[in-house]
Amino acid sequence: MIDIKKTFSIKGMHCASCVLVIEKSLRGVEGVSGANVNLVTEKATVTYDPDKATDEKLISAVANAGYRAFVEEEVQSEDKERVEKQKELKGLRIRVVVSLGLGLLVLWGGFPALMDTAPAILKNFWFQLILATPVQFWAGWVFYRAAIPALKHRTANMDTLVVIGTSVAYGYSAFVTAFPQIVQRIGIEPMPYFDVATIIIALILLGRYFEAKAKAGTSEAIKKLIGLQAKTARVVRENKEIDIPIIEVVIGDFVRVRPGEKIPVDGIITEGDSSIDESMVTGESMPVDKKSGDTVVGATINKSGSFIFKATKVGQETMLAQIIRLVQEAQGSKAPIQRLADLVSSYFVPVVIMLAITTFVAWYDFGPEPTLLYAILNTVAVLIIACPCAMGLATPTAIMVGTGKGAEHGILIKDAESLEIAHKVGTIIFDKTGTLTKGEPSVTDIVAFNNEKEDNILRYTASLEKFSEHPVAKAIVTFAASLGKTSSHPLDRAIRERAETEKAELFTVNKFKANSGKGLEGEIIINGNSRKFYFGNRALMKDVPVNIGANEVEIQKLEGEGKTVMILASDFELLGIIAVADTVKENARQGVEELKKIGIESVMITGDNLKTAMAIANKVGITRVLAEVLPDEKEAEVKKIQAEGKIVAMVGDGINDAPALVQADVGIAMGTGTDVAIEAADITLINKDLRSVAATIRLSKKTMKTIKLNLFWAFGYNIVLIPVAMGVLYPSFGLLLNPIFASVAMALSSISVVSNSLLLKRYKW
Amino acid sequence: MLDKCGMNEIIVTILGVLGIIFVYWFFLLKKEVKIEASDSIDITVNGGYIPDVISVSKDKTIKLNFIRKDSSSCLEEVVLSDFKIRKYLPLNEKVVVEITPKQTGEFNFTCGMNMFHGKIVVTP
């Protein structure tokens, strides 16, 4: 029998003895093999046989002990956020409706241009007070509730400004209503301004409502990713297929996936084949055919066949979980451009309060009659117009939408800083093998010289290569570093494969040695005689030395075709050559062209000689080539280009060229397999599409443009409108800002910034 | 217009200046109260972060337990940008943020709109 494990919430516990009571009660249920209750998390984890114990039985066991169990699926934190948001929006909506309704009535009865048409009761100050009070202290309570605890901790935010502004307007109006004769005595017409207080509250609440709605849209991408996760998996245990929650799938489980189903976790197909749609995770648009031995990614959709795969990564290790984590991290990081906004916003509210006091004093001392009234209204306008929120929202909202948009298309950006730097990139260096080319070279030509047979050339070279794959213990110890690099080289693999298909009989090799970046050497035993062979590039031949002489023409001809030519020599004599060619990726040329269109220079870096490199470069449309660069020299080449004053991005596989990726201002790795978080890279292209390099730069440019526009609005708005609210235009133009219009402008400023960020979503690739 | 400068104006001006000084002192000259934390610390989110300056040791993992008691949407998210963390804080619920500072120095944490600030001081 197969037991399953379930975790659920328990309410009503308050001491350690509750834990014991509940555990005892749960263990008493038939089919329960284990129960563990945690007082701190208020959760119980029960292991049970689902055929015997049911949810109802578990709930009633907990109820019998005197507590309540919530056995339904645990609500994810994202859902919790959504539920809370919905509640908040609903509450806001009611407050907006009530405050707008009451506010408009007050406005009708109190606003000079409208009051003539209003019924007499609306013009009654006491009636206005009755209408305005719930708006001020019930609808507006959200502002007080935020401002009061903040004041207790000597901090201030936007709510503080709204509270001070509306309280001043409301307090003055209430005073006028209660003591009109006192106001009259100091020469002011006893006129309340309840309309100002109520309408400001209504409009700011309305603005907040729209802002909250819009803000929810900025984190949509991450919610979508989380939503991709499968809920259950059909695993094969003890020859039976059972559906279990995804959380219970363990590494090594065999999972059955039927047509149209979602693949629950990452793994390797062991039986069957199918076509799989991976677009939701990798952004790759075409379905991929997979067969036994191929890897599958969790959350992708099985299109046609039914298959079984072995789970290799579960929980937080799956590709989807890694992607989610990476995007979450990027959204939590800060773009350098935000620094100024951070600095300003930390002083903003206190400075605005000081400016408001200055406004009051200036209008009271120097303003026209009635000075007190002008002083109050302009002070309220200053407090209300100031909007620190727009500055705080300008950068993060754009970063959230930008990184989310990238993730949707298989572009994973590590942090906001990388996204910011990417828009300044002037030069992009592409690694050749595995980046511009498929990294799957095959042998194209075997040429024998000096009466040597072609077959033998293949046998000798393959013997050396074969040896590099199965090195004896001593060789591993001695040459581990260089050996590893050589034997894993795609060129070596190509030769081995060719030898295997031709079924070439191989020789024994002694004294094998791999020279990093040059080639191999070793003694081959032929008919009992030992003969030393060298196999590699020109640099190795020069070391031996071997004179290439007249055969140079043949070598150059093959190199001119973009093939990598390796030379076999023995006893200082040239025996032959083997040419290997790699295929250029389908979209490599298009990728380079797209970069050219946005004014970015592409450079190719490779260990190949210049001639071979140039031939490949021509195929993809690159004119600047850095050839014959040894693996450990790539980093220095990046530095050289940076020294030219350019911002450099490096595109590689993230494994062999990690130091170069780190050295570059932006390291871009082409994702491989199911590992997405390539440590050395700032940006990982899990869609493996070279056109995404240009798309990344365009996304960065677009995001930065949005951020700059947001900051321009947020700063410009405050810089221009605060002085206007203070009354700087009054002496010359007689212009003053009505506090009601100030609240409209304030509400619009935050909404405009968030909406502008959301426009990034519409950006077409 | 200084000719009309009467007693009221002088009083309002003096009160204004005092008000500005008070605001400056109240908000900007706030004394920091540093709390040392070893393994874990509860941070109440209510009109700011209490405590708001937390001293921790380098290379040591610490759990910051945020508990939001303030229903204002301003404080619904906490951002520790140096640690690449942005977390939603459900009301009245403990949200554990685990960090292992690798560098000494001061690292700010803020609300989602960057209006409320706290600081993590990492000492050697």
pLDDT (tens digit per residue) in A197-238: 999 999 889 988 988 888 888 888 888 888 888 888 999 888
- pLDDT for res A548: 82
Q: In the predicted model, is pLDDT for residue A676 greater than 60?
A: no
- Across the interface, whether the CB atoms of A154 and B26 are under 8 A apart is answered yes
Q: Dihedral sign for Cα A709, A715, A721, A724, please.
A: negative
Q: Yes or no: say if A656 and A633 are a contact pair by the CB < 8 Å rule.
A: no
Q: Which amino acid is at A676?
A: V
Q: Which two tokens stand for residue A715?
A: 């700063």
CA dist A488 and A22 (Å) reads: 58
Question: What single-letter amino acid sits at A415?
Answer: D
The whole-angstrom separation of Cα A146 and Cα A152 is 11
DSSP state of A51: T
* pLDDT of A466: 64
Q: Would the CA dihedral through A664, A670, A676, A678 be positive or negative?
A: negative
CA atoms within 13 A on the CB side of A149: 20
At which residue do the structure tokens 């949509």 appear?
A220
The nearest alpha carbon in chain A to B9 belongs to A365
pLDDT given at position A515: 73
According to the model, what pLDDT value does residue A178 have? 93
Task: Please report, for chain B, how many H helices and E strands are present, in that order.
Answer: 1, 10
Residues in chain A within 8 Å Cβ distance of B90 = 77, 80-81, 84
Residue A553 CA neighbour count, 13 Å, CB half:
2
Res. A39 pLDDT band, cuts 50 70 90: low
Q: Which of B16, B81, B87 sits opposite A333 (nearest CB)?
A: B81
β-strands B117-123, B53-57: how paired?
parallel
> Does A152 sit within 8 Å of B12, measured CB to CB?
no
Please enumerate in sequence order all residues whose Cβ is within 8 A of that of A116, keeping only pairs 6 or more positions apart, or say none: none
C-alpha–C-alpha distance, residues A374 and A363, integer Å: 6
Q: Which residues contact A163 (CB under 8 A, 6 or more apart)?
A: A140, A143, A144, A147
Interface size, chain A vs chain B, as Cβ–Cβ contacts under 8 Å: 130
- Overall average pLDDT of the A68-85 stretch: 66
Per the CB < 8 Å rule, is A365 touching B70? no
CA–CA distance, A456 with A464 (Å, rounded to integer): 12
In the numeric block, the tokens 């250029």 are attached to A584
Reduced to 3 states (helix: H, G, I; strand: E, B; else coil), residue A40 is coil
Measure in Å the smallest separation between the Cα of A682 and chain B Cα atoms: 14
Segment among A11-20, A300-309, A515-524, A700-709 with least mean pLDDT = A11-20
Nearest to B115 among A77, A80, A392 (CB): A392
Residue A332 to residue B79, Cβ atoms within 8 A: yes
Q: What is the reported pTM?
A: 0.77
CB-CB contact of A389 with A379 (8 Å): no
> In this structure, is the dihedral angle defined by the CA atoms of residues A215, A220, A222 and A227, taken in order, positive or negative?
positive
Kindly determine whether residue B12 and residue A393, on different chains, have CB atoms separated by under 8 Å: no
Q: For residues A560 and B23, which has the higher predicted lDDT (pLDDT)? A: B23
Q: Can you tell me the mean pLDDT for A39-60?
A: 78
What is the nearest CA distance from A312 to chain B, expressed in angstroms? 27
Do the chains contact at B24 and A329, CB–CB below 8 Å? no
Q: How confident is the model at residue A490 (pLDDT cuts 50, 70, 90)?
A: low
Identify the bridge partners of residue A307 per DSSP, sorted by sequence position.
Answer: A257
Nearest to A145 among B20, B72, B80 (CB): B72
Contact criterion met (CB below 8 Å) for A85 and A218: no
Question: Buried b / exposed e across A312-338, counting CB within 10 Å, b at 16+?
Answer: bbbeeebbbbbbbebbbbbbbbbbebb
> Which amino acid is residue A714, in one-letter code?
A
Residue A193 neighbours by CB under 8 Å, 6+ apart: A110, A169, A172, A173, A376, A377
Residue A535's SS3 state is strand
Mean pLDDT of A245-249: 85
* Burial grade of A4 (CB within 10 A; 0-12, 13-18, 19 or more): middle
Residue A365, pLDDT score: 92
Give the percent of chain A with pLDDT over 70. Answer: 90
Integer Cα distance of A56 and A756 in angstroms: 50
On whether the CB atoms of residues A19 and A39 are closer than 8 A, the answer is yes
> Which residues from chain A sit within 8 angstroms of residue B47, using beta carbons?
146-153, 155
In chain A, the residue whose alpha carbon lies closest to the alpha carbon of B51 is: A153
Rounded Cα–Cα distance for residues B7 and A256 (Å):
89
Would the CB atoms of B47 and A152 count as touching at under 8 Å? yes
User: Chain A: residue nearest B26 by CA?
Assistant: A154
Q: Sorting pLDDT into bands at 50, 70 and 90, what band is A493?
A: low
> How far A361 CA lies from chain B's nearest CA (Å)?
6
pLDDT higher at A470 or A385: A385
Q: Given B30, B84, B87, which is nearest A415 (Cβ)? A: B84
Place of tokens 């062991």: A270
Chain A: give the shortest CA distance to residue B124, in Å. 24
Residues of A with CB below 8 A from B66's CB?
Answer: none
Residue A370, preceding peptide bond in cis (omega within 30° of 0):
yes
Q: What's the pLDDT tens digit per position in A371-416?
A: 888 999 999 999 989 888 888 888 989 999 999 999 888 899 988 9
Residues of B in contact with A328 (CB under 8 A): 86
Q: Give A369-383 as a DSSP string.
A: SSHHHHHHHHHHHHH
pLDDT confidence of residue A504: 61
Position A500 scores a pLDDT of 63
According to the model, what pLDDT value does residue B16 have? 95
Q: What is the pLDDT of residue A517?
A: 67
Give the residue among A263, A248, A267 at the shortest CA–CA distance from A306: A263
* Cβ neighbours of B112 in A, within 8 Å: 392, 396
Asked if this assembly's ipTM is beyond 0.90, the reply is no
- Considering the candidates A266, A431, A657, A665, report the single residue annotated as catalytic: A431
Q: What's the mean pLDDT when you consider all of chain B?
A: 87
Count of beta carbons in the 10 Å neighbourhood of residue B33? 9
pLDDT at A278: 86
Taking CA–CA distances from A357, the nearest residue in chain B reads B16
Mutation to test the B interface, candidates A79, A154, A414, most B Cβ within 10 Å: A154
Q: Per the CB < 8 Å rule, is B47 touching A150?
A: yes
Which band of pLDDT confidence, cut at 50, 70 and 90, is reported for residue A474? very low
CB-CB neighbors (< 8 A) of A81 in chain B? 88, 90
Q: How far is CA B30 from the centre of its chain?
A: 11
Nearest to A762 by CA among A220, A86, A89: A220
The 10s digit of each residue's pLDDT in A633-649 is 889 999 999 999 999 99
Closest residue in A to B117 (Cα) is A346
- Picking from A328-332, A655-659, A712-716, A752-756, which range would have the lowest pLDDT averaged per residue? A655-659
CB nearest to B47's CB, from A88, A153, A212: A153
Q: Which residues have C-beta within 8 Å of that of residue A561, sequence separation ≥ 6? A: A581, A615
Residue of chain B minimizing CA distance to A388? B115
Q: Which residues of A touch B88 (CB under 8 A)?
A: 77, 81
With CB atoms and an 8 Å threshold, state whether A392 touches B113: yes
Give whole-number Cα distances, A480 to A164, A537, A543, in Å: 73, 21, 21
Q: Residue B121: is its pLDDT beyond 90?
A: yes
Residue-wise DSSP of A215-276: HHHHTHHHHHHHHHS-SEEEEEETTEEEEEEGGG--TT-EEEE-TTPBP-SEEEEEE--EEE
For residues A263-281, average pLDDT: 90
Rounded to 5 degrees, φ, ψ at A43 are -130, 150
pLDDT tens figures, A690-745: 999 999 999 999 999 999 999 999 899 889 999 999 999 999 988 888 888 888 88
Query: What average pLDDT does range A169-194 have in this prediction?
Result: 88
Residue A640 is encoded by which pair of tokens? Answer: 């050289």
Check if A159 is active-site: no
Q: Three-state DSSP class for A684? A: strand
Q: Which of the residue ranges A170-174, A256-260, A350-354 would you say has the lowest mean pLDDT?
A: A256-260
Contact B5 A391 (CB under 8 A): no
* Neighbouring C-beta atoms of residue A464, cutoff 10 Å: 29
Contacts of A158 in chain B (CB under 8 A): 74, 115
| B117 interaction partners in chain A (CB closer than 8 Å) | 155, 346
Residue identified by tokens 């020109």 is A538
Q: How far is A719 from chain B (nearest CA, A)?
A: 18
Cα A595 to Cα A602: distance, rounded to the nearest angstrom: 7
Give pLDDT, residue A268.
94
**pLDDT band at residue A152 under the 50/70/90 scheme:** confident
Measured CA to CA, the distance from residue A408 to residue A57 in angstroms comes to 43
- Report the alpha-carbon angle A436-A440-A444, nearest 5: 105
Give me the pLDDT at residue A694, please.
95
- CA distance to partner chain A, nearest, from residue B51 (Å): 10
Residues 6+ apart with CB under 8 A from A726: A355, A358, A359, A362, A378, A382
CB contact under 8 A, A154 and B27: yes
How confident is the model at residue B115, as a pLDDT?
A: 81
Task: List pLDDT tens digits, range A418-438.
Answer: 999 999 999 999 998 888 988
Q: Which residue has the higher pLDDT, A733 or A656?
A: A733
**Can you give the pLDDT at residue A155?**
84
Mean pLDDT for chain A overall: 84
